[in-house]
């Protein structure tokens, strides 16, 4: 059984008031780069990006980080990624502060953005 960390990119980036709103693509790229080198206890990381943030990181796999571009709604894509991992039998952890999204991903352990930011 693999461990998968699904990251709500918009929620994590938005948790730190560092001017991310001026350059959403750049903020997504910095998060992606930090995830690539972070010592996180998961086999695979899925970074879900939406809107302008998608311009900062191409979709696909880089080492253990898989970047997914949400076609419309980031939440729907996150739910789909959590479900796909759970259906494979993986143990899934979701990183978001969005309580409604956490509820929609009922089988996943939920951690807030501050946990991930402390790891990276």
Our count of domains for the chain comes to: 1
Name the pTM for this structure.
Answer: 0.94
Which pLDDT value is given to residue 50?
Answer: 95
pLDDT of residue 91: 95
Report the CATH number at residue 109: 3.40.50.1010
Q: Where is 3: in which H helix or E strand?
A: strand 3-8
Rounded to whole angstroms, the Cα distance separating 56 from 32 reads 9
Instruction: For residue 72, name the pLDDT band (cuts at 50, 70, 90).
Output: confident
> Which range of residues forms the domain containing residue 80?
3-119
Query: 111 is written with which tokens?
Result: 């951690």
């Amino acid at each position: 059984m693999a461990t998968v960390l699904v990251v709500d990119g918009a929620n994590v980036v938005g948790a730190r008031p560092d001017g991310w709103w001026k350059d959403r693509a750049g903020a997504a790229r910095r998060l992606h780069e930090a995830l690539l080198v972070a010592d996180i206890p998961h086999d695979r990381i899925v970074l879900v990006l939406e809107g302008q943030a998608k311009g900062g990181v191409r979709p696909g796999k880089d080492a253990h980080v898989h970047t997914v571009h949400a076609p419309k709604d980031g939440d729907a894509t996150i739910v789909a990624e959590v479900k796909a991992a759970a259906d494979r039998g993986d143990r899934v952890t979701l990183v978001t502060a969005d309580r409604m999204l956490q509820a929609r991903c009922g089988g996943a352990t939920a951690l807030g953005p501050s946990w991930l930011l402390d790891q990276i």
